[in-house]
Copies of this chain bind each other. A is one copy, B any other.
Amino acid sequence: MSQVIAEISISLDGFAAGRNQGQEHPLGEGGERLHDWIVPTESWRRQHGKEGGETGPDNDVAAEFGRGVGAYVMGRNMFSPGRGEWDEGWRGWWGEDPPYHVPVFVLTHHPREPLPMEGGTTFHFVTEGIESALEQARAAAGDEDVLILGGADAIRQYLAAGLIDELRLHIAPIILGGGERLLENVGEPELEPVDVAASPAAMHVKYRVVR
């Protein structure tokens, strides 16, 4: 049965991005360190056309990314640095062949025609809100899962609306000290850990969200 999964990396003090997010720092100042656990892995490197890399728990988690996922949802801030770039034909952060390979539904207030990329990824821009985006993603995914990629704001909205079945957190051992918190104003969902893996670089936890 198709699941709605949210997956994101956060700091030990709960931030999904550091201070001063923008084109220079898409994840805020210091926020790129949230992904230090995945960048050296063999799986991530292969997805980016590179050889070699580390194996181990982080690589196992990296290798699982996207498995069984039929559609993604992401917030507008994850797709775009915001403001003017949107109208100037911004095509995302990921080059011409984004690592998704299925439809990606982008939450936004700005209508735009679907943007087909190489490798099977098409960005669809949804202006009718989170529930419409999820409905469209479910339809596109069929029997496969829908993965909410972030940013924090999008995941918060879906959590607060009770629409997430599984929350996957990658907790990096860093203190950002400020920025955008993930678990704030999400109500008090009951979380049941169903899988945990850890390395010196991150703790990876899957929670089932109990309805």
Q: Which of B30, B174, B198, B207 contacts A173 (CB 8 A)?
A: B207
Interface status of A139 (Cβ within 8 A of chain B): no
Task: State the Cβ distance, A166 to closest chain B Cβ, in Å.
Answer: 13
Task: State the Cβ distance, A161 to closest chain B Cβ, in Å.
Answer: 15
Residues of B within 8 A of A207 (CB): 173
B200-A192 in contact (CB<8A) = yes
Task: State the Cβ distance, A130 to closest chain B Cβ, in Å.
Answer: 20
Interface status of A115 (Cβ within 8 A of chain B): no
**Assembly stoichiometry (copies):** 2
**Beta-carbon contacts of A6-43 to B below 8 Å, as 1s and 0s?**
00000011100000000000000010000000000000
Residues of B within 8 A of A199 (CB): 196
Q: Which of A104-112, A146-154, A176-184 contacts B (4 or more CB under 8 A)?
A: A176-184
Residues of B within 8 A of A177 (CB): 186-188
B173-A193 in contact (CB<8A) = yes
B191-A183 in contact (CB<8A) = no
Query: Which residue of B has the minimal Cβ distance to A176?
Result: B188
Contact A192:B175 (CB < 8 A) given known A203-B198, A203-B205: no
- 11 further interface pairs, Cβ-Cβ under 8 Å (given A173-B193, A175-B187, A193-B198): A13-B14, A14-B14, A171-B203, A173-B207, A175-B191, A177-B188, A192-B200, A193-B200, A193-B201, A196-B203, A203-B205
Residues of A within 8 A of B (CB): 12-14, 30, 169, 171, 173-177, 181, 183-184, 186-189, 191-194, 196, 198-201, 203, 205, 207
8 residue pairs, one from A and one from B, having the closest CB atoms: A196-B198, A13-B183, A14-B14, A173-B191, A173-B193, A193-B200, A177-B188, A175-B188
